[in-house]
Amino acid sequence: MLERLPTCRVVLADKGYDSDAIRRQIETAGAVPNIPPKVNRRWKLCFSPVLYRGRNAIERMFGRLKDFRRIATRYDRSATNCLAAVCLAATVSYWL
């Protein structure tokens, strides 16, 4: 998926993506990786906790959308119907 990375300045990821190969691939795409280092890493790379906090809002949004069974199980076969279901779920969950 990183090969199709759109142009961006910073890529946020969790500790599961903390490898030198992934970091190099993000850097060759012209972005800066903001990935917290794993505990077993000897040399801790630079990491901004302030930028990483924004990732939490995105994770909560996906978690809230997955509360809707239709979206979590991907019942819709076409992209148009799936997008419509996501829009309806987002409207219902964020309207309240």
Tens digit of each residue's pLDDT (9 = 90 or more) over 25-55: 888 888 888 888 888 887 777 888 888 888 8
- For the cut 80, the answer to whether the pLDDT of residue 15 exceeds it is yes
Tokens 């190969």 sit on residue: 21
Assessment of whether the complete model's pTM goes beyond 0.85: no
Confidence class for position 96, pLDDT limits 50, 70, 90: low
Confidence class for position 19, pLDDT limits 50, 70, 90: confident
Confidence class for position 61, pLDDT limits 50, 70, 90: confident
Domains of the chain, by residue range, sit at 7-55, 66-96
Helix (H, G, I), strand (E, B) or coil at 77: coil
- The mean pLDDT of the chain is 82
> Quick check: 46 and 54 in contact, CB under 8 A?
no
pLDDT at position 54, please? 81
pLDDT at position 55, please? 82
The two structure tokens encoding residue 74:
């991907």
* In the chain, alpha helices (H): 20-28, 49-65, 69-72, 79-95
pLDDT at position 58, please? 80
